[in-house]
């Protein structure tokens, strides 16, 4: 019915173009109605898996959510509590991929409230809410137990989180340490000594990533005084 001349003889470039056209058609017509490129599987879960690999899952799912009615009968505060409850269950269950859209929808639903601000947008990124993201780390500190990992206790979650980064740059250390200071989970005497060393990171002259501060200070209001 319709053909596109890619203008290239490079197979890789042609595949990338086909993938992008498929993604755009999924956004327009819905993920159930379109297959193509690297997304030519009958099973939706396999399609979603490859969309994640290509970094396009959020674009497609957002387009679906935009077309669906959104229940905002809960108060803003209750919607935040519901998000935390659903997120905790999601991580405790091992962050199953078939439930990712449910958690993502909980976060997206907040965008329909009049309290939503553009500064909260980074919370829609899987780097924040994904199984290996920021949120399960923060929940570990708040709840005083490991959430979403097999590490032994919140302190070990903190130690692992402080190592996130590359090339000697750890842009999220400030965030993790500030939230830890807010909730102060239980630790051993030995861990307390190590914690003193960790806290010296806050004195380093480095540029920290603060894009999540606004949303976290609302989702976890106890952190507001330290993050702001």
**What is this structure's pTM?**
0.78
* Domain residue limits, the chain: 11-66, 76-227
Q: What is the pLDDT of residue 206?
A: 85
170-225 pLDDT, tens per residue?
A: 999 999 999 999 999 999 999 999 999 999 999 988 889 999 999 999 999 999 99
Q: Which pLDDT score, from 0 to 100, does residue 219 have?
A: 97
In terms of Cβ atoms closer than 10 Å to its own Cβ (0-12, 13-18, 19+), residue 129 is: buried
User: pLDDT by residue (tens digit) across 126-169?
Assistant: 899 999 999 999 999 999 999 999 999 999 999 999 999 988 89
């Amino acid at each position: 019915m319709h053909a596109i001349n890619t203008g290239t003889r490079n197979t890789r470039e042609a595949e990338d173009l086909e993938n992008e056209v498929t993604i755009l058609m999924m956004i327009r017509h819905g993920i159930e109605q379109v297959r193509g490129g690297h997304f030519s599987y009958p099973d939706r879960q396999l399609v979603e898996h490859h969309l994640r690999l290509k970094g396009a899952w959020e674009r497609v799912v957002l387009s679906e959510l935009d077309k669906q009615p959104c229940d905002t009968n809960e108060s803003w505060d209750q919607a935040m509590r519901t998000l935390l409850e659903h997120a905790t269950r999601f991580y405790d269950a091992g962050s199953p991929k078939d439930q990712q859209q449910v958690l993502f929808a909980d976060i997206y639903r907040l965008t329909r409230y009049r309290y939503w601000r553009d500064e909260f947008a980074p919370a829609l990124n899987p780097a924040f809410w994904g199984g290996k993201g920021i949120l399960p780390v923060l929940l570990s500190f708040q709840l005083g137990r490991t959430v979403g990992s097999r590490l032994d206790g919140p302190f070990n979650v903190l130690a692992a989180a402080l190592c996130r980064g590359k090339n000697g740059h750890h842009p999220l250390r400030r965030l993790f340490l500030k939230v830890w200071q807010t909730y102060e989970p239980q630790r051993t005497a030995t861990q307390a000594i190590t914690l003193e060393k960790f806290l010296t990171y806050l004195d380093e002259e480095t540029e920290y990533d603060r894009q999540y501060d606004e949303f976290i200070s609302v989702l976890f209001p106890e952190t507001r005084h330290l993050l702001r």
